[in-house]
Amino acid sequence: MKVGLVVNPVAGVGGRVGLKGSDSPEVQQQAFALGAVARAGERAATALRELLARRPDAAILTAAGAMGEESARAAGLTPMVVYVPGEPTSAADTVAAARTLAPHVDLLLFAGGDGTARDILEAVGDSLPVLGIPTGVKMHSAVFAVNPRAAGEVAASSSSSSRLRDAEVVDRVDGTTQLFGHLRVPDIPTRVQQRKTGSSGITPDAVSGIAAELADLLTPGELLVLGPGTTTRAIAAAWGVDIPVLGVSVLADQTLVAADVSGDELLKLVTATPARIAVTPIGGQGFLLGRGNQQLTPEVLRRVGLDRLHVVATEAKIAALGGRPLLVDTGDDRLDAAFPRYLRVISGHRRTILYPLHSERH
């Protein structure tokens, strides 16, 4: 079995410092200036380790340096390097590397986010099976495995006779989600992220009930950290506060304290003042933490405490998960393992849904 690997080395650097993506060179520079660390290569190595444990015969073809070679070596492999990128690497390198690999491999793994998925789509279209290792900030496309380990597992269990399905490549552009096309992804449902469902059943009634429940929980002066999403945005709107859909915002006494905060800023705020956090799963995928809200770093979560982390979602949104468990991938295995098996999802005033949570460490 021959597996291609393309790593976008800067994928995800924007997330932990509160930026909404990492696509442009300016954002990347800004992110590194803010102290971001690139983790895409490390996550790709995790996927390869899993693949190799199951398929020791797998041969890895990849691009030089940070675009794959380093990850393969970190996983204990000697890869065949078929492409040498420029310095610094760019989106054009992702496209060129994928094009070079495509005719020679059975499956193409790529590490990145929605922006990287768009580049892969441009490069290879539906010419071969593709699977994303989630390492970006935004991962609304349905082409990603639920986490790096699952990517390795899916890759190992796929063969030329595997069922494939068309998976949407979507990305946020100028505030709206756009569909760019489809990639062919191995059809192993629970291990691959489902497409984000647009409809979250955000009716005024449903959301005002959730807002009322949060209001009951909060004491005067206590901070409420709201994760990204249309549900949390609607909750803030129920109090007359306008917050961005994609960033992390902080409220107190139903007024805005800060919007678009970074992980470090957040840590300062929640260290100074008692706080609660409300997050909503990504519709249709079930990710609670680690996708699009990396500002909620393990340090922030620990400081606030998991018992003060509240999950909010309408009944319709939970129904749209189709029974798939909620997922956490904070980047800290010990923290992931500390989550309970079932979470009380606030679905209305005095109403909760007890819903299973999956962590690799359970």
Partner 1 sequence: MSAPSPHTHVEPAEARIAPKPRLRRFHQARWDEPLIFELTSPGERGVGVPVPDLPVPDLPPGLRRAEAPALPEMSQPHVLRHYLRLSQENLGVDLNVDIGQGTCTMKYSPKINDAFVRDPRISELHPLQDESTVQGVLEILYRLEGLLKEISGMDRVSLQPGAGSSAIYANVTMIRAYHAARGEGDQRDEVITTQFSHPTNAAAPKTAGYKVITLMPDADGYPDIEALKAAVGPRTAALLITNPEDTGIFNPRIEEFVRIVHEAGGLCCYDQANANGILGITRARDAGFDLCHFNLHKTFSTPHACGGPAAGASAVTEALAPFLPRPTVEFDGSRYHLDDDRPESVGKIRPFYGVVSNLVRAYAWIMALGAEGLRDVAETAVLNNNYLIHKVLQIKGVSLPYAQGRRRIEQARYSWEQLNADTGIHSEQIGYRVSDFGTHYWTSHHPYLVPEPMTLEPTESYSQADLDEYAAILAEVAREAYEDPETVRTAPHNGPIHQMKGESLDDPGTWAVTWRAYQRKLA
Give the interface with partner 1 as residue ranges (CB under 8 A): 201, 203, 315-316, 318-320, 322-323, 340-342, 344, 347, 350-356
Of 224 and 346, nearer to partner 1 (C-beta) is 346
Of 85 and 201, nearer to partner 1 (C-beta) is 201
* Sign of the torsion formed by the C-alpha atoms of 63, 64, 66 and 70: positive
Of 165 and 302, nearer to partner 1 (C-beta) is 165
CB of 99: closest distance to partner 1 in angstroms? 32
CB of 212: closest distance to partner 1 in angstroms? 12
CB of 54: closest distance to partner 1 in angstroms? 24
CB of 310: closest distance to partner 1 in angstroms? 14
The CA distance from 318 to 231, in Å, is 12
Of 92 and 319, nearer to partner 1 (C-beta) is 319
CB of 221: closest distance to partner 1 in angstroms? 25
Of 26 and 205, nearer to partner 1 (C-beta) is 205
Of 233 and 324, nearer to partner 1 (C-beta) is 324
CB of 323: closest distance to partner 1 in angstroms? 6
Of 1 and 353, nearer to partner 1 (C-beta) is 353
Instruction: Please check whether residue 145 is in contact with residue 151, taking contact to mean a CB–CB distance below 8 angstroms.
Output: yes
CB of 275: closest distance to partner 1 in angstroms? 23
